């Protein structure tokens, strides 16, 4: 395990799934402060399932989830949110019939009725996301997919989290906007946020990340610096849809260091 | 402003109606209020929280029986109605805890099944409920107190919905409707909130069930748990606009008037005509009359929701997200 001391969010041997089918099998991952970490892997590798367990949206069968060292394995999502773990789900998740402002306010509901604080947070977020400025009264459903993703990210920042987990933020976006979103996530990590994203667009995501985890059939098969993963031949072949013999053997064995 | 004027006028009309209207108008309005109460309660869980279901009549029926049995035991009809409202909530609490784990058709049909279970209880426990014979009550001599009680419940529910629509609680319910996982991720306490909404949505149907029994001075399982009551309520909400403040009211008004006109003229085929009317409404205004009117900027129609008003200023925008640019 690398740097579990500095890890803000950690999965320790987490096994979970749907019904009685295990999708993630004893996966361990550590997400360190101020870094962008990508969790990559092919379809059905268990990436989304693993981070849903981290956000508390899925019950963990065995293993532990830790936030700043505290065991939160059995905590409900709203409690994890108050510990600073924010989650941006996959797909279209803004409320299309509501304005940009209402969407943002919804993100802050957990803070209670402090209007002053909400206004200040919205102002701060508009500086971070200029695309939202001046569109406060626009209906969220009338914005482009990329703008909606920006709104979803901004909304999850309303509570001032320290960890932002994103499930496929690039889904359905044009290549240009994918880069804009990834660039924004880098910028956010520069302001002190820990960013964790699950991505299908593996090499694109890794090129914007500090670290990465590669999952295959529910297990973590590689972890390390993003650059090293990008240079790893087995990982590259995995992106192309092949399953190298080494990885096939690995899912039974230990995590390799890239 | 115009909308406030319309609502104010309606309230004044409702207040003087019992003193000037005929017996027929009075009983028509009493039934109208019953449906307003049912429609707004259903709108809360079906329209706002997105948990549509076919089992509301269970609370109506249980309320009717609770109230009837209490009146039979000598309690005042107002006390009976309050107890009936409570019985609705008490039934909804465990039911919600068990049933709200499932969504969509499973919840909708499951609740329909619950209503049938309640109905067969009413039929089966005939030493308490008199079974299919039904319970006969002393008729009330004056309809006016009953009229005003029902009017108060109806108005209260409209105001409650208006307040909810402009609150953060309403936003949270809408978030559950749109995407429960996203709502969870935003820290909305979805389980607590939807069970809460479900319980609240069962209070008025319970109370109104008892008041309806008072109005009829009779209750039997067929009347108390009539699927027609359920379907009419849902059709009214759909017609007016689900998850809106004034949709249910407009739906109840429109459908009651159409029903009444058709029923007296074409008694044999009126239900078929009502069905055709609903079909056309669903095809042409799938989001209900209120949204339809809001798009056409009929500002005298109260729509309340701020975003709907903004929606009105940009006619015919697509609700779906466009492709990324």
In tens, the pLDDT along B50-91 reads 898 999 999 999 999 999 999 989 899 999 999 999 999 999
B192 in A contact zone (CB under 8 Å) = no
With beta carbons less than 8 A apart as the criterion, state whether A187 and A220 touch.
Answer: no
A145 to B181: CB separation less than 8 angstroms, yes or no? no
Q: What is the distance, to the nearest Å, from the Cα of residue B167 to the centroid of all Cα atoms in its chain?
A: 21
Which helix (H) or strand (E) segment holds residue A12: the answer is strand A7-18
To the nearest whole number, what is the mean pLDDT of chain B?
84
- Dist CA B277 CA A163 (whole Å): 53
Instruction: Tell me which of B179 and A49 has the higher pLDDT.
Output: A49
The CATH code for residues A7-257 is 3.40.50.300
With beta carbons less than 8 A apart as the criterion, state whether A144 and A170 touch.
Answer: no
- For chain A, how many helices (H) and strands (E)? 10, 11
With contacts defined as CB-CB under 8 Å, which chain A residues touch B181?
A: 57, 89
> Which of the four pLDDT bands, split at 50, 70 and 90, describes residue A87?
very high
B316 in A contact zone (CB under 8 Å) = no
B237 in A contact zone (CB under 8 Å) = no
What ipTM was reported for this prediction?
0.72
**Per-residue CA distances from B145 to A160, A255, B84, B214 (Å):** 54, 76, 18, 11
Domain ranges of chain B: 2-312
In tens, the pLDDT along B16-26 reads 888 888 888 88
B321 to A145: CB separation less than 8 angstroms, yes or no? yes
B168 to A106: CB separation less than 8 angstroms, yes or no? yes
Q: What is the pLDDT of residue A254?
A: 54
A110 to B320: CB separation less than 8 angstroms, yes or no? no
- Dist CA A29 CA A6 (whole Å): 12
Per 3-state DSSP, chain A is made up of helix, strand and coil in percentages (nearest 5) of 40, 25, 35
Q: Kindly provide the b/e burial profile for residues B83-116, where b requires at least 16 CB atoms within 10 angstroms of the residue's own CB.
A: bbbbbbbbbbeebbeebbeeeeeebbebbbebbe
With contacts defined as CB-CB under 8 Å, which chain B residues touch A107?
A: 186
B324 to A177: CB separation less than 8 angstroms, yes or no? yes
**Per-residue CA distances from A185 to A38, B238, B253 (Å):** 11, 42, 52
- Dist CA A28 CA A202 (whole Å): 19
- Dist CA B214 CA B80 (whole Å): 9
> Which of the four pLDDT bands, split at 50, 70 and 90, describes residue B115?
very high
Sign, CA dihedral B13-B16-B18-B19, equals: negative
Task: Give ∠ CA B244-B248-B252 in degrees, rounded to 5.
Answer: 160
> Which of the four pLDDT bands, split at 50, 70 and 90, describes residue A4?
very low
Q: Which has the closest alpha carbon to A84: A140, A21, A162?
A: A162
pLDDT exceeds cutoff 90 at B181: no
- Dist CA A148 CA A126 (whole Å): 14
Residue of B nearest to A156 (CA): B186
The token duo for B309 is 């008003």
When mean pLDDT is compared across A79-83, A151-155, A237-241, B149-153, the lowest value belongs to A237-241
pLDDT exceeds cutoff 80 at A258: no
With contacts defined as CB-CB under 8 Å, which chain A residues touch B286?
A: none
How are strands ordered across the β-sheet holding A21-32?
A21-32, A7-18, A62-67, A70-71
Dihedral over alpha carbons A2, A10, A24, A48 (to 10 degrees): -110
Residues 6+ apart with CB under 8 A from B245: B158, B161, B162, B165, B302, B303, B304, B305
B187 in A contact zone (CB under 8 Å) = yes
> How many angstroms away from the CA of A197 is the closest CA of chain B?
15
Q: What is the pLDDT of residue A253?
A: 58
**Per-residue CA distances from B47 to B43, B53, B63, B238 (Å):** 4, 10, 22, 9
User: Residue range A64-79: average pLDDT?
Assistant: 92
A174 to B323: CB separation less than 8 angstroms, yes or no? yes
> Which of the four pLDDT bands, split at 50, 70 and 90, describes residue A92?
low
Nearest by CB to A141, from B179, B187, B321: name it.
B321
Residues 6+ apart with CB under 8 A from B171: A98, A102, A105, A106, A109
With contacts defined as CB-CB under 8 Å, which chain B residues touch A98?
A: 171, 174, 307
B168 to A87: CB separation less than 8 angstroms, yes or no? no
A110 to B186: CB separation less than 8 angstroms, yes or no? yes
Crossing angle of helices B144-165 and B23-42, in 10° steps, is 30
With beta carbons less than 8 A apart as the criterion, state whether B62 and B92 touch.
Answer: no
Q: Count of residues for chain B?
A: 325
In tens, the pLDDT along B211-259 reads 999 999 999 998 889 888 898 899 899 888 888 888 899 999 988 988 8
Q: Which has the closest alpha carbon to B32: B260, B277, B275, B253?
A: B253
Nearest by CB to B171, from A76, A105, A148: name it.
A105
The token duo for B203 is 């209070």
Q: What is the pLDDT of residue B275?
A: 82
Residue A28 has φ and ψ, to the nearest 5°, of -120, 130
Q: What is the pLDDT of residue B300?
A: 54
* Percentage of chain B lying above the pLDDT 90 cut: 38
B256 in A contact zone (CB under 8 Å) = no
Q: What is the pLDDT of residue B295?
A: 67
With contacts defined as CB-CB under 8 Å, which chain B residues touch A174?
A: 323-325
According to DSSP H, which parts of B100-133 are helical? Answer: 104-124, 126-129
> How many angstroms away from the CA of B8 is the closest CA of chain A?
28
With beta carbons less than 8 A apart as the criterion, state whether A60 and A24 touch.
Answer: no
Q: What is the pLDDT of residue B11?
A: 87
B322 in A contact zone (CB under 8 Å) = yes
Residues 6+ apart with CB under 8 A from B84: B62, B63, B64, B66, B67, B70, B206, B207, B209, B210
With beta carbons less than 8 A apart as the criterion, state whether B41 and B201 touch.
Answer: yes
Sign, CA dihedral B171-B173-B176-B179, equals: negative
To the nearest whole number, what is the mean pLDDT of chain A?
87
B320 in A contact zone (CB under 8 Å) = yes
With contacts defined as CB-CB under 8 Å, which chain A residues touch B325?
A: 144, 146, 174, 177
With contacts defined as CB-CB under 8 Å, which chain B residues touch A105?
A: 168, 171
With contacts defined as CB-CB under 8 Å, which chain A residues touch B323?
A: 144-145, 172, 174
B233 in A contact zone (CB under 8 Å) = no
Q: Which has the closest alpha carbon to B200: B140, B246, B156, B266?
A: B156
N- to C-terminal Cα distance for chain B? 40
A253 secondary structure, DSSP code: S
Sign, CA dihedral B283-B286-B290-B292, equals: negative
With beta carbons less than 8 A apart as the criterion, state whether A194 and A33 touch.
Answer: yes
How many Cβ contacts (< 8 angstroms) between chains A and B? 107
* Percentage of chain A lying above the pLDDT 70 cut: 93
In tens, the pLDDT along B277-325 reads 778 877 888 778 887 777 665 555 554 444 443 333 333 333 334 333 4
In tens, the pLDDT along A96-149 reads 877 898 888 888 877 666 778 888 889 989 998 998 988 888 888 899 888 999
Q: What is the pLDDT of residue B324?
A: 39
Residue of A nearest to B169 (CA): A109
- Dist CA B109 CA B228 (whole Å): 15
Long-range contact pairs involving B97-102 (C-beta distance under 8 Å, separation at least 24) = B97/B195, B100/B51, B100/B191, B100/B194, B100/B195, B100/B198
With contacts defined as CB-CB under 8 Å, which chain A residues touch B168?
A: 105-106, 109, 113
B72 in A contact zone (CB under 8 Å) = no
Q: What is the pLDDT of residue B9?
A: 87
Q: Is B263 helix (H, G, I), strand (E, B) or coil?
A: helix
């Amino acid at each position: 395990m690398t740097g579990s001391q500095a890890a803000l969010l950690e999965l320790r041997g987490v096994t979970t799934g749907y019904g009685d089918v295990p999708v993630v099998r004893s996966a361990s991952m550590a997400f360190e402060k101020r870094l962008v970490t990508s969790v990559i892997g092919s379809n059905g590798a268990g990436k989304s399932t693993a981070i849903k367990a981290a956000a508390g949206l899925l019950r963990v069968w065995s293993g532990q989830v830790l936030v700043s060292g505290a065991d939160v394995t059995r905590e409900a999502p709203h409690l994890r949110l108050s510990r600073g773990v924010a989650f941006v789900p996959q797909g279209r998740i803004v409320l299309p019939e509501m304005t940009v402002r209402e969407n943002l306010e919804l993100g802050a509901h957990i803070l209670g009725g402090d209007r002053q604080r909400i206004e200040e947070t919205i102002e701060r977020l508009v500086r971070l996301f200029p695309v939202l400025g001046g569109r406060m009264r626009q209906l969220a459903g009338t914005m482009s997919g990329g703008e909606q993703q920006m709104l979803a990210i901004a909304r999850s920042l309303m509570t001032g989290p320290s960890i932002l987990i994103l499930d496929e933020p690039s889904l359905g976006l044009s290549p240009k906007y994918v880069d804009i979103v990834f660039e924004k996530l880098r910028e956010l990590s520069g302001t002190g946020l820990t960013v964790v994203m699950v991505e299908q667009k593996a090499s694109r995501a890794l090129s914007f990340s500090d670290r990465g985890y590669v999952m295959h059939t529910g297990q973590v098969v590689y972890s390390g610096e993003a650059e090293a993963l990008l240079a790893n031949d087995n990982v590259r072949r995995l992106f192309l849809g092949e399953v190298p013999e080494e990885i096939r053997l690995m899912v039974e064995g230990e995590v390799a260091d890239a | 402003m115009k909308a406030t004027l319309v609502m104010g006028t309606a309230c004044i009309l409702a207040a003087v109606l019992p003193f000037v209207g005929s017996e027929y108008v009075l009983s028509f309005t009493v039934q109208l209020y019953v449906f307003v109460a049912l429609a707004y309660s259903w709108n809360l869980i079906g329209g706002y929280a997105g948990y549509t279901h076919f089992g509301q009549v269970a609370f109506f029926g249980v309320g009717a029986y609770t109230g009837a049995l209490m009146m039979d035991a000598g309690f005042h009809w107002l006390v009976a109605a309050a107890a009936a409202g409570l019985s609705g909530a008490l039934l909804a609490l465990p039911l919600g805890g068990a049933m709200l784990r499932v969504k969509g058709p499973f919840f909708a049909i499951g609740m329909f099944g619950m209503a049938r279970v309640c109905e067969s209880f009413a039929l089966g426990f005939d030493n308490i409920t008199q079974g299919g014979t039904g319970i006969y009550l002393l008729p009330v001599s004056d309809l006016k107190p009953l009229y005003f009680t029902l009017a108060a419940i109806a108005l209260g529910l409209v105001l409650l919905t208006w307040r909810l629509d402009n609150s953060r609680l309403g936003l949270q319910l809408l978030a559950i409707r749109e995407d429960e996982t996203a709502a969870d991720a935003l820290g909305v306490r979805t389980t607590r909130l939807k069970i809460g909404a479900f319980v609240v949505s069962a209070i008025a149907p319970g109370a109104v069930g008892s008041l309806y029994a008072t109005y009829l001075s009779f209750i039997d399982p067929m009347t108390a748990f009539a699927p027609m009551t359920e379907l009419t309520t849902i059709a009214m909400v759909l017609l007016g606009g689900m998850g809106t403040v004034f949709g249910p009211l407009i739906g109840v008004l429109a459908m009651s008037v159409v029903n009444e006109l058709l029923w007296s003229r074409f008694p044999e085929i009126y239900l078929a005509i009502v069905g055709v009317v609903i079909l056309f409404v669903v095809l042409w205004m799938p989001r209900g009359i209120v949204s339809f009117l809001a798009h056409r900027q009929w500002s005298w129609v109260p729509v309340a929701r701020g975003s709907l008003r903004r929606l009105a200023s940009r006619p015919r925008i697509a609700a779906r997200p466009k492709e990324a640019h």
